[in-house]
Amino acid sequence: MKNAVLFSSKSEEWETPQHLFDRLNAIYQFKLDACATARNAKCPVFFSKEENSLEQDWAPFGRIWLNPPYGRAIAQFMRKALEESRKGCLVVCLVPARTDTKWWHDYVLDKGHVTFIRGRLRFKRTDAKPGAPIYPAPFPSAIVSYLPGPSYVVDAPRIRLPLPAFPSTLSHGRPRPESSHVAKRDGQGF
């Protein structure tokens, strides 16, 4: 399998695709990359693994970008993003759209604004050698945005964020024929 490395746990660190970050940064002008290395940081100010972002205060930076490790620690990072937004900052996260997981239900569902990215993003590992192939992720991705202040859905009115349209990287099939989407019994819809 050519993208087997994406299924492995050798690395949880996947660099944010630059085109995606640039589009979001043009809107939000992020001040902090809350989870980065010197090699893949998207903002001049960033927290590295050694600085342990989970123990830092993000709120003073105001507008935070977060592409957390995609392993077991993702729940801790999403909890931290939600907590920091309640302190008054905007936190925008790139995460796998794992809607069946506990962390999604505890920290995303009904708490953040979710935009699903059409198609599959192409990631490269932060430790990849120059010229290494970049494969599409084996999972769908989403942008989760936590607005400053109270919990997004539970405590505040629903607001649409001005997120850009994301390019589709994969074809999503053909439209269904008219007859296939209406269930019929004896010529009647039911």
The arithmetic mean of pLDDT across residues 57-79, rounded, is 95
- What is the DSSP code string of the chain? -TTGGGGSSS---EEPPHHHHHHHHHHH--SEESS--TTT-SSSSB--TTT-GGGS--GGGSEEEE---SSTTHHHHHHHHHHHHHTT-EEEEEEE--TTSHHHHHHTTTTSEEEEESS--EEEETTPPTT---EE-SS-EEEEEE-SSS-TTTTS------PPPPPP-S---PPPPGGGGS-EETTEE-
Tell me the pLDDT of the chain averaged across its residues: 78
* Integer CA distances (angstroms), 185 to 109, 180, 181, 189, 190, in order: 37, 13, 13, 6, 7
Mean pLDDT for the stretch of residues 39-62? 95
pLDDT on residue 164: 55
Per-residue confidence band for 3, with pLDDT thresholds at 50, 70 and 90: very low
Residues 132-180: tens digit of each pLDDT: 777 788 889 999 999 998 754 444 444 455 555 554 443 344 444 444 3
Evaluate if residue 131 carries a pLDDT over 50.
Answer: yes
pLDDT at 2 over 70: no
pLDDT at residue 83 is higher than 90: yes
- Residue 22 pLDDT grade (very low, low, confident, very high; cuts 50, 70, 90): very high
> What value does the mean pLDDT take over residues 86-108?
96
For the chain, percent of residues with pLDDT exceeding 90: 53
Choose the CATH number for 11-189 among 1.10.3470, 3.40.50, 3.90.1490, 1.20.120.
3.40.50
